[in-house]
Structure 1
């Protein structure tokens, strides 16, 4: 049995272990313990709380943002206002990331050049032609970039595998012992009938060799051309004689043309082809 003095000392220890602030919610927990006040020796790096309100993918993206945000006409850009706002942003970049600012500085130099060219008198052009606008090339690049950006945004809305959905996969545990299906008598009969059908489809035939003479067909072609001024190229072939005869007749025509015994003529491109005997003055 414990004494009253021992109980009172235990209660005092429990009270001392409790946090001094009980009626407020803990700001955070450090290693599982509640934290009711910020530590006095807490070090926060200067860039730890930096907030980026807008993230741009490049100089054109920033320039397009400044134009669209203020509803400027992209075909008639107020260069003075846009250049001032652009340089303010570039100065902020230079304070934090000098390497990143180099690309933006190049665009800033281009904007200043365009503004200076607009202050100069326009170059003389031929009568009836308009003077070249120094902003034309910049406007073209901005419009092309905006088209690509909108197209990329539309593509990004399409559901993508791995980002918006995943393939469903189900694992089915199967027995390691293979199980083969039972074969019935009817199945064997059907397989045998299929073999007999395929055997009937195999037929043997003998190909006989036909000897054709090119010289003989050269004489046939010359006979067809005798007494006629022109003969159509197609009229010299008879498809009913078969492919081998057609090939030999064509070779005979080439041989006759090679020996300058016939002339193959055509009035113009894609016109009908005619064949005639070669002219020989008497």
Structure 2
């Protein structure tokens, strides 16, 4: 069929599936009277009951590729394994002939043949030529290296990588073999305050002690300090406040200038109250200010 004839061909037909007994001439009522499902195909939305006589289908439209190779080494390994050749003793003449035959088939349909395929073809021809030449012994009386050694090494390495890739592909993958489960848990409305760690209490105490040293008076006197008395003072102060910051318990002792001894006794009194579960030491979140309050006692 000439180019001029091809330009006159009708537009492509979308085949909807048919059988020989379904495609036949229209009845007296015409194609419009027939059931739409009996049409062989549809052309621009209209039912088609028989293929046009001048319909041209190019040969490439029915071409089927049974094997797909990822590179020249993949093709070469396929030819060797398919014929059960020993990869350490490759019959170069036969393998090269089959490889060139495959390359020639690709070249007929695909002019943009990858250069790596042609490079491998040249390498096979070179190895085949070197094997036809007589072997020359080296001066050290050692056997000459096999021309196929480099090719065998590359084939073995490629086969190892290919098998490793196949094993990795069998490993379950997220999104392909399974999906990540998501569970929504309703959080409790009651706030949970973190527990006061020992290091937080030490840091707060060190800050109070530092401030007490800055406000002390150099007055030598002897005073008897009672831990129980300071415990009572702390309990009285906490009765009028729901929460009291840790450092506020020592403000009176610091302002009075009584020095570090009073502050130390006051701190011991607070620890004793905490040990006897009369007060609670808490904080809203990590690294937040530390508060002291009376211990909760159910009525």
C-alpha separation in 1, matches of 2:201 and 2:88: 79
Q: Choose the corresponding residue for 1:157, options 160, 164, 170.
A: 170
| CA gap 1:181/1:42 in 2 versus in 1, 3 angstroms | same
Gaps of 5+ in 1: 1-12, 207-282
For the structure 1 residues 14 and 182, does the alpha-carbon distance in structure 2 shift closer, same or farther, using more than 3 Å as the test? farther
Counterpart pick for 1:63 among 64, 76, 92: 76
Q: Which residue of 2 aligns with 1:104?
A: 117
1:35-59 per-residue CA deviation (whole Å, 9 max, x = no partner) reads: 4432334343442222111111111
1:88 equivalent to 2:101? Answer: yes
Decide whether aligned partners of structure 1 residues 152 and 200 sit closer, same or farther in structure 2, where only a CA change above 3 A counts: closer
Paired position in structure 1 for 2:129: 116
Q: Does residue 77 in structure 1 map to residue 90 in structure 2? A: yes
Structure number with greater CO (CA < 8 Å, separation at least 6) is 2
| 1:20-59 pair list within 5 angstroms | 26-30=39-43, 35-59=48-72
Does residue 19 in structure 1 map to residue 19 in structure 2? no
Structure 1 Cα separation of the partners of residues 100 and 199 of structure 2: 86
Q: Gaps spanning 5+ residues in structure 2: where? A: 1-26, 214-299
Shift in Å, 1:135: 0.6
Q: Is the 8 A contact 1:93 1:100 kept in 2?
A: yes
Q: Which residue of 1 aligns with 2:280?
A: none
Aligned to 1:132: 145
Q: Distance in 2 between matches of 1:180 and 1:127?
A: 85
CA gap 1:133/1:14 in 2 versus in 1, 3 angstroms: same
Aligned ranges for residues 204-219 of structure 1 at < 5 Å? 204=209
TM-score with structure 2 length normalisation?
Answer: 0.50
CA distance change for structure 1 residues 159 and 30 in 2, over 3 Å: closer, same or farther? Answer: farther
With over 3 angstroms needed to count, the CA separation of the structure-2 counterparts of 1:69 and 1:165, relative to structure 1, is same
Q: RMSD of aligned C-alpha atoms?
A: 4.0
CA apart distance, 1:194: 5.1
Once the two structures are superposed, residues 210-252 of structure 1 have per-residue CA deviations (whole angstroms, 9 ceiling, x without a partner) of xxxxxxxxxxxxxxxxxxxxxxxxxxxxxxxxxxxxxxxxxxx
Rounded Cα–Cα distance in structure 1 between residues aligned with 2:198 and 2:122: 87
Residues 195/82 of structure 1: CA separation in 2 closer, same or farther (3 Å cut): closer
Change over 3 Å in CA distance of 1:165–1:37 after alignment to 2 = farther
Q: 1:118 to 1:199 in 2, by over 3 A?
A: closer
**Structure 1 position 163, deviation (Å):** 2.4
Q: Distance in 2 between matches of 1:107 and 1:130?
A: 26
TM-score of the pair, normalised by structure 1: 0.52
Deviations, residues 147-189 of structure 1 (Å, cap 9, x unaligned):
00111111111122232233345899x9xxxx99468xxx9xx
Larger deviation: 154-163 or 57-66?
154-163
- CA gap of 1:163–1:132, structure 2 versus 1, over 3 A, is same
14 and 149 in structure 1: CA distance in 2 versus 1, 3 angstrom threshold = same
